Amino acid sequence: MFGPLVLAYSAAQLLLGSPVVAVENGLARTPPLGWNSWNWFACDISEETILSAARAIVSTGLKDAGYEYVIIDDCWHAPARDPITKEPLANPVTFPSGIKSVADKVHDLGLKFGIYSDAGSETCARRFGSLGYEQIDAKTYASWGVDYLKYDNCNNEGFSGNESISSWRFSQMAKALNETGRPIVYAMCNWGEDHSWTWAGKLANSWRMSGDISDMFTGYSKDCPCTSLLNCTTFGHHCSATRIIDWTAYMVNYAGPGGWNDLDMLEVGNGNMTNDEYVTHFSMWALLKSPLILGNYLTKMTPDILDIITNDAIIAVNQDPLGASIKRSWKRLLEEGDVQMWTGPLADGSTVVALMNTSPDPQTATISFKDIPSKSPNPETTTFRAFDLWQRSSELTRSGTRWGLDIGLFQGQISDITLKRHQTKVFMLVPQVRTTLRIQEDAE
């Protein structure tokens, strides 16, 4: 059944070599923000699951905080495509009104709508995939009003193993989406296979670069084996948040406007981490410029979880127009875990700094300004005003954003910052001259 398709693909691959299909869709100039059904619901989804999440995005204020894509993951499918037209069909029991009707209702709420498919014969949950059906699927998604496609990598019939063949397979959907003329964010999900972060930017608006996340803060699972670029062929699943963060250190330079490292959907609120751990998870995803795609049960969310995912200062860093990921400045290894400092520039010339404690004990750390990538001629002698982005304050706004608590002026360093077990603190350092300008701008 699959034979002719395999032959056709092999022939095309020989003819085409390694094509470059630039995504060039003008989308995702900042990382997409939204919600996806998989992490909490897996295959247990229906129209009501999706629409109640969409309504909760509006009623809880998540929409106002910037979350806009409502994405149905795997398992929306009918048992088979339309036997005559080969168009994809929705499961008539769980999605009786059809996908277009769900998309319309999501749009009516002022939100955008996303769907899932797979660059293989079947999805990871063994529903029909899009390999060989890219054009008809893209066309159908466009007619349904799809704004975002998550495109997975299971059951790829062996069309992987090197950049050329994987990028060719994923480029088929890139091309098909572009041909529809509808703006559709293309989120590649091949888990980093064939070092996709080095080439996916030519095709897609984001690319998964790790095995599947689990709702756990730390720990090594043999199912998530990659620790270095050299030993990594299988990406797996059951990856803890800190393992994904460490892994991302290899690929921070590839993130930028229009194309982002996707660290996987958030687990914040799913119950297996402490609030400090979820703060670390959310902060690092945001500063590493991952799409922030929530994966929790929105209608049952507690206020402290809502508080974490609506921290407007952290979201503003994620959405900063410069689009530069933080990079690791140092890592202090401890008997168990470590303390790490990461820094990155923001469009207005200020610097964001994250101090992360993955150890089970409280730690102290110092931010030395010599380690920060400031545009100031000499960060060591510049005075910076520092804001703590996890201490909320209504003072000092820039473009309507609350930037956390002003903790004062510093030169050379901020010393002896205390970090609780598994806590991350995030600071914004503003060269003093800019602070003056900003206060003036805000007063006008």
- Residues ≥6 apart with Cβ < 8 Å to 167: 18, 19, 194, 196, 199, 200, 202, 203
Question: What angle is formed at CA 353 by the lines to CA 347 and CA 359, rounded to 5 degrees?
Answer: 150
How far is residue 153's CA from residue 166's CA, in Å, rounded to a whole number?
A: 9
312 binds ligand GLA per the rule CB under 6 A: no
**Could you confirm whether 212 is annotated as catalytic?**
yes
Which one of the spans 26-34, 94-102, 118-126, 177-185 is the region binding ligand GLA (CB under 6 A)? 118-126
223-262: contacts with ligand GLA (CB under 6 A): none
Which one of the spans 14-22, 122-130, 267-275, 334-342 is the region binding ligand GLA (CB under 6 A)? 122-130
Which one of the spans 117-125, 194-202, 326-334, 363-371 is the region binding ligand GLA (CB under 6 A)? 117-125
71-110: contacts with ligand GLA (CB under 6 A): 73-74
38-57: contacts with ligand GLA (CB under 6 A): 38
Which one of the spans 119-127, 272-280, 340-348, 362-370 is the region binding ligand GLA (CB under 6 A)? 119-127
**Could you confirm whether 246 is annotated as catalytic?**
no
Closest approach of ligand GLA to the CB of residue 263, in Å: 12
Using the minimum distance from each CB to ligand GLA, give the nearer residue, 166 or 343: 166
3-42: contacts with ligand GLA (CB under 6 A): 38
Nearest residue to ligand GLA, scored by beta-carbon proximity: 124
212 binds ligand GLA per the rule CB under 6 A: yes
Using the minimum distance from each CB to ligand GLA, give the nearer residue, 147 or 193: 193
- Bridge-based pairing of strands 206-208 and 260-262 is parallel
Closest approach of ligand GLA to the CB of residue 329, in Å: 30
Using the minimum distance from each CB to ligand GLA, give the nearer residue, 150 or 289: 150
Using the minimum distance from each CB to ligand GLA, give the nearer residue, 73 or 320: 73
Q: Which of 73, 137, 147, 152 is catalytic?
A: 152
Q: Which residue type does 144 have?
A: W
125 binds ligand GLA per the rule CB under 6 A: yes
Per CB under 6 A, the list member of 189, 224, 286, 386 interacting with ligand GLA is 189
Q: Which of 73, 74, 137, 212 is catalytic?
A: 212
Which one of the spans 123-131, 319-327, 362-370, 417-425 is the region binding ligand GLA (CB under 6 A)? 123-131
Closest approach of ligand GLA to the CB of residue 206, in Å: 12
Using the minimum distance from each CB to ligand GLA, give the nearer residue, 37 or 359: 37
Closest approach of ligand GLA to the CB of residue 222, in Å: 17
Using the minimum distance from each CB to ligand GLA, give the nearer residue, 78 or 125: 125
Of residues 249, 322, 321, 259, the one with CA closest to residue 288 = 249
Closest approach of ligand GLA to the CB of residue 38, in Å: 5
Binding-site size for ligand GLA (CB under 6 A) equals 9
Q: Which residues are catalytic?
A: 152, 212
**Rule CB under 6 A: which residues touch ligand GLA?**
38, 73-74, 123-125, 152, 189, 212
